[in-house]
Amino acid sequence: MNDNGGTQPDVLTVSEVASLLRCSKAHVCKAINGQIPGVAPIPAVRLGRRMLVLRRSLAAWLAQNQHGCESDTLRASLEIDAA
């Protein structure tokens, strides 16, 4: 369930995460599985083969993995949508 007025889902699919991060679904799957050196895995909920990412977990992951790049706009967008 989401508490944000129904505009944005609290749970994101791999495709939605890929769109937000501007990368491929395969790259998101590698990030979730911890297969990208130097980057902490993206926290995900697994339902069988399906992987879902909580919006707030993605925002926290972005903040944690901000290696000097400016992803403040994306993080702010995720936090606003989750509020």
Least confident among 2-16, 48-62, 65-79:
65-79
pLDDT tier at 58, thresholds 50, 70, 90: very high
Is residue 6 situated within a structural domain? no
- DSSP strand E in 15-56: where? 45-47, 50-54
Is residue 4 situated within a structural domain? no
Is residue 5 situated within a structural domain? no
pLDDT tier at 7, thresholds 50, 70, 90: confident
pLDDT at 8 over 80: no
Is residue 41 situated within a structural domain? yes
**pLDDT single digits (tens) 9-51:** 899 999 999 999 999 999 999 999 999 998 899 999 999 999 9
pLDDT at 3 over 60: no
Is residue 51 situated within a structural domain? yes
Closest-CA residue to 53 (of 41, 69, 66):
41
Is residue 3 situated within a structural domain? no
Question: How many domains, in total, are found in the chain?
Answer: 1
Domain coverage including residue 71: 11-82
Is residue 2 situated within a structural domain? no
Is residue 1 situated within a structural domain? no
